[in-house]
Amino acid sequence: MDPIDLVVPEELASTLPEGSEEAVMAMDREITQYETYINDAMEAGEEEAAAAAADVLDRLQGRWEEYDGYIVELRAWGQSSIYAEVWCDFQYALIQQLYEHEELAAALDRERNARIVDDGIRLSDV
């Protein structure tokens, strides 16, 4: 399996106000952590890589929902929500990038479905 390579989309970095280099560096640090975690798991095999990617995906989805909530709250207080919006979009972009990795996407779907079944959730419960 080819190593995963995640990037900060250029359009997100350009959306931030001038002087926001610290936010882009934080995104790069986050990407490095995720890449290292998944790529290290890839060395152990496809199942381990899928489990690691599913862990990252769960974290990304949780953070995506968290930042989405911040957007509404900041707007309600009359504050700029640009950073929350960019971080929300960043989480979504990383999720997309994980699924664009052809070899990982199928294994990731299997792992996520297995986790749903392990949790005892069935489609009939939805």
Tens digits of residue pLDDT in 17-40: 998 999 999 999 999 999 999 999
What percentage of the chain's residues is helix, strand, coil (to nearest 5)?
80, 0, 20
Both tokens of 4, joined, read 């995963």
pLDDT value at 81 more than 60: yes
pLDDT value at 123 more than 70: no
Q: What is the mean pLDDT of residues 36-64?
A: 93
Give residue limits of the domains in the chain: 10-125
**What is the average pLDDT value for the chain, to the nearest integer?**
89
What's the pTM value of the predicted model, to 2 decimals?
Answer: 0.84
pLDDT confidence of residue 121: 58
